[in-house]
Amino acid sequence: MRQFIAFAALLAATTLADAARKLNVVVILADDLGYADVGFNGCKDIPTPNIDSLAKHGVRCANGYVSHSFCSPTRAGLMTGRYQQRFGHENNPAYLPEDTKVGLPLSQATIADVLKSAGYVTGAIGKWHLGAAPCFHPNERGFMEYFGFLGGGHIYLPGMKGGPEYTVPLLRNKEPLELKDYVTDVLSAEAAAFVTRHKAEPFYLYVAYNAVHTPLQAPEKYLSRFAGITDERRRIYAAMTSAMDDGIGRVLAALRDNGIERDTMVWFFSDNGGPVETVAPTRNDPLRGNKGTLYEGGIRVPFVVQWRAGLPEGTVCEQPVISLDVLPTAAALAGAKLPASLKLDGVNITPHLKGEVKTPPHERLFWRMGGGASWAVREGRHKLVKPGKDATPQLFDLNNDIGEAKDLAGEKPGMVARLQAAFDAWNAELIPPIFEGPKPAAKKAKRAAKKK
Ligand code: CA
């Protein structure tokens, strides 16, 4: 009897501790990973057991989107929970450490600001790509700890080739340090160490791999796993993907070993679709298009959420969700108070992930690129996409035609008009891009230098 009382007391104490414990949030972002390059989306030549384990123990979002079809704008949306075109972040920032205009506008609160205000320890690891000037540094944007590089990518191995932005030293907070090992392994080790270091307090950890973005670089220890892949570029890409998957396994093991796996919500998705063969040997099938387009191959990405104590395991959420939902979902679960001035586009999708709410979290989802040169809107099964500056909008029924092969615009003029009007109304709320992409910016600088 005495034993039973002791046990009951222990149980009560555990329950109390659990109730007091806040949920940790980990967001793992891949870079340029193809829709079909993970096991849970049917990949056959690259095993991704750790990424797949998230789907096995969590919720796979079959209609999981990002808010842009290339790197930096997607990150701006993820950081703020807002369509990034609302504040002009519609291009990749050039790597300009002196330019205080080219980066995530300081007017915008980040997910790290929000969770820090709720008592969370906040950390960012890996690719930043939200401005290289000191005012844009992660430590100035709510992240108490940072390890990574501020540009749009990095060489993977010491001494390997890459442009100036890709060969800068790594940073621990603001201190430069030399790259000594495969960068994917280095980032994974840092992420696992962060988990262990902060196991006793609620944390938000953002792990932004530059994998599997170019340059295609991998060491023999990963390449040797893919001797059977004869296409040399695909073989290197497979090795890079496999290294990232191992790294994600290390982070998950750290959560498990420290006894906090159940109380941690882990998100995994890619920042945009695969660039496909011209740039990197990725696969997006059965989706049409690729990185840089607003067809599904540019914006629908491998997307999973695991929270073992709170979400059903091995389920599929069919409702369209978007990377903008991370901030409001995390804030709600963390009990964070959002400033009244913060107008979010994302919503708390926990009830949808749980399968408790069957109506879609968003009436419509929108995309816009190049200040409006191309755009798309999705409502229910229908998507209207204007694929380029002089193109006519095309209408697709994604329930029947995930590959966007049959344009229904001629057959359904009413639906076209309705979605066009919805886009126009949303578009009227946006501002033009506040900075240009690296290529136009470089051209302008060249012209200015010539004039001098
Ligand atoms: Ca990317």
Average pLDDT over residues 158-178: 96
Before 207, cis peptide (omega within 30)?
no
Burial status of residue 410 (CB atoms within 10 A of its CB: 0-12, 13-18, 19 or more): exposed
User: Which pLDDT value is given to residue 443?
Assistant: 86
Q: 222 and 256, same structural domain?
A: yes
The DSSP code sequence of 84-146 is GGGGT--SPPP--TT-SSSBS-TTS--HHHHHHHTT-EEEEEEE--SB-SGGGSGGGTT-SEE
β-strands 59-61, 64-65: how paired? unpaired
**Ligand 1: centre distance to CA 383 (Å):** 23
Average pLDDT over residues 181-188: 98
Q: 370 and 329, same structural domain?
A: no
**Ligand 1: centre distance to CA 31 (Å):** 4
User: From the candidates 57, 71, 198, 317, which is the catalytic residue?
Assistant: 71
Confidence grade of residue 20 (pLDDT, cut at 50, 70, 90): low
pLDDT mean across residues, the chain: 94
Residues 40, 51: Cα–Cα separation, whole Å: 8
Q: 378 and 253, same structural domain?
A: no
Q: Tell me whether residue 43 is one of the annotated catalytic residues.
A: no
**Domain C-terminal end among 305, 324, 353:** 353
Q: 397 and 259, same structural domain?
A: no
Residue 13 lies in a domain: no
Q: 306 and 381, same structural domain?
A: no
**Domain C-terminal end among 323, 353, 383:** 353
Q: Tell me whether residue 68 is one of the annotated catalytic residues.
A: no
User: Residue 384: which CATH number?
Assistant: 3.30.1120.10
Residue 227 lies in a domain: yes
Residue 27 lies in a domain: yes
Q: Are 298 and 34 in contact (CB under 8 A)?
A: no
Residues 291, 439: Cα–Cα separation, whole Å: 17
**Ligand 1: centre distance to CA 214 (Å):** 10
Average pLDDT over residues 62-68: 98
Q: 295 and 239, same structural domain?
A: yes
Helices (H), 296-382: 296-299, 326-334, 350-354
Q: 316 and 180, same structural domain?
A: yes
Query: pTM of the predicted model, to two decimals?
Result: 0.94
**Ligand 1: centre distance to CA 129 (Å):** 10
User: Which pLDDT value is given to residue 188?
Assistant: 98
**Ligand 1: centre distance to CA 213 (Å):** 7
Q: 374 and 261, same structural domain?
A: no
User: Which pLDDT value is given to residue 13?
Assistant: 43
Q: 371 and 300, same structural domain?
A: no
Q: Are 203 and 122 in contact (CB under 8 A)?
A: yes
Q: 383 and 318, same structural domain?
A: no
Residue showing tokens 């990185």: 291
Model pLDDT for residues 204-244, shown as the tens digit of each residue = 999 999 999 999 999 999 999 999 999 999 999 999 999 99
**Ligand 1: centre distance to CA 274 (Å):** 8
Q: Are 254 and 196 in contact (CB under 8 A)?
A: yes
**Domain C-terminal end among 332, 353, 374:** 353
**Ligand 1: centre distance to CA 143 (Å):** 21
Residue 12 lies in a domain: no
Average pLDDT over residues 276-283: 82
- CA distances in angstroms from 235 to 232, 248, 370, listed in the order given: 5, 20, 33
Residue 6 lies in a domain: no
Q: 417 and 280, same structural domain?
A: no
User: Which pLDDT value is given to residue 264?
Assistant: 98
| Percent of the chain with pLDDT strictly greater than 70 | 95
User: From the candidates 57, 68, 89, 129, which is the catalytic residue?
Assistant: 129
**Ligand 1: centre distance to CA 166 (Å):** 14
Residue 114 lies in a domain: yes
**Ligand 1: centre distance to CA 68 (Å):** 10
User: Which pLDDT value is given to residue 449?
Assistant: 80
Model pLDDT for residues 97-135, shown as the tens digit of each residue = 999 999 999 999 999 999 999 999 999 999 999 999 999
Residue 206 lies in a domain: yes
User: Residue 148: which CATH number?
Assistant: 3.40.720.10
**Ligand 1: centre distance to CA 243 (Å):** 17
Q: 134 and 107, same structural domain?
A: yes
User: Which pLDDT value is given to residue 318?
Assistant: 97
Confidence grade of residue 11 (pLDDT, cut at 50, 70, 90): very low
Domain count, the chain: 2
The answer on pLDDT for 312 being more than 50 is yes
User: Which pLDDT value is given to residue 445?
Assistant: 77
**Ligand 1: centre distance to CA 277 (Å):** 15
**Ligand 1: centre distance to CA 84 (Å):** 15
Residues 325, 68: Cα–Cα separation, whole Å: 14
The answer on pLDDT for 24 being more than 80 is yes
Average pLDDT over residues 145-154: 98
Residue 245 lies in a domain: yes
Q: Which domain holds residue 83?
A: 22-353
User: Which pLDDT value is given to residue 339?
Assistant: 85
Helices (H), 265-383: 296-299, 326-334, 350-354
Confidence grade of residue 340 (pLDDT, cut at 50, 70, 90): confident
**Ligand 1: centre distance to CA 297 (Å):** 13
Q: Write down how long the chain is.
A: 452
β-strands 145-149, 365-369: how paired? unpaired
